[in-house]
Amino acid sequence: MMNKLYVGNLAYSMSDATLMQAFAEFGDVSSAKVMMDRDTGRSKGFGFVEMGSPAAAQAAIRGLHGKTIDGRALVVNEARPREERPGGFGGGGGGGRRY
C-alpha cells in the first residue's frame, strides 16, 4: 500500500491548504497539491495527497471517497505511477505555405 492518493472531482475553488485540511482528520499529511492548468491558472479539478502512513491513507480513502465537499462528491484512491506518453512534441502535419 502506498501513501500517495489521487483525489478527483475537486471543486475549482479548492486550494492546497483546504485539501490538506480535509485529509488531516485521518492522519498526518505529508503534502497536498491541487493540480493547476499552466495556461489559465485554474484548478484542473484533481490533486494528490501524500499521507504519513499506509494506515492513514486507507483511513482517508474510507472516510473521504464519495464524501461531498463544496458540492462535489470526491473520488479518492491510491495514486498510480505516471504513465509514459509516446513522442515528445507530437503533432505533425500541416503548417507552412505551399507555393
Q: Is residue 72 part of a domain?
A: yes
Using only C-alpha atoms, the chain has a radius of gyration, in whole angstroms, of: 18
**Number of domains forming the structure of the chain:** 1
Overall average pLDDT of the 42-69 stretch = 97
Q: Are 12 and 69 in contact (CB under 8 A)?
A: no
What range does the domain containing 21 cover? 4-78
The rounded Cα 21 to chain-centroid distance in angstroms is: 15
Whole-model pTM?
0.81
| Tens-place pLDDT, residues 15-37 | 999 999 999 999 999 999 999 99
Q: Residue 10 has which C-alpha cell? A: 475537486
CATH number for position 13: 3.30.70.330
Q: Is residue 98 part of a domain?
A: no
Q: Is residue 85 part of a domain?
A: no
Grid look-up 462528491 returns 73
Query: What backbone torsions phi and psi does residue 71 show, to the nearest 5 degrees?
Result: 80, 10
Eight-state DSSP code of residue 18: H
Q: Residue 77 has which C-alpha cell? A: 484512491
